[in-house]
Amino acid sequence: MKLQIMSPAADRVDFKVPPAPRLTSLEGKTIGLYNNMTGGADVAVDRVAEHISQRFANVKFERYGGDIRPGRPILSRGVHIDEDEASRIAKEVDAVVGATAH
């Protein structure tokens, strides 16, 4: 008898994009909060915002995910940020925190 094991995971994709330089501080910055609409992701980004607000002064938050941005893609579990939307977001914020909870 032959046993074949199949993995439901997608093929691995290796990105060659270097990480963005770290900010020296979050004080006075605008932070994007990306919620990919999986269960608990909204709670995760809310908690991150709470902790950042307690530690740094004058931080603003912009939220991404769902249909909260009229005229923009409705981001969901099945519709992720594409290159155009990522470029738009990068112009609006200084850093992004993404949550993919479940």
| Residue 8 confidence (pLDDT) | 77
| Residue 102 confidence (pLDDT) | 60
Helix (H) or strand (E) run with residue 45 in it: helix 41-55
| Residue 71 confidence (pLDDT) | 84
Q: Is the pTM of this model over 0.85?
A: no
Q: Is 16 exposed, middle or buried (0-12, 13-18, 19+ CB in 10 A)?
A: exposed
Domain layout of the chain by residue ranges: 35-99
| Residue 101 confidence (pLDDT) | 63
For residue 18, how far is the Cα from the chain centroid? 17
Number of neighbouring beta carbons within 10 Å of residue 35: 24
Q: Is 17 exposed, middle or buried (0-12, 13-18, 19+ CB in 10 A)?
A: exposed
Per-residue pLDDT of the chain (102 residues; tens, 9 = 90+): 888 888 877 777 777 778 788 999 999 999 999 988 888 888 999 999 999 999 999 999 999 988 888 888 888 888 888 889 889 999 999 999 988 766
For residue 6, how far is the Cα from the chain centroid? 30
Query: What CA–CA distance (Å, rounded) separates 96 from 59?
Result: 13
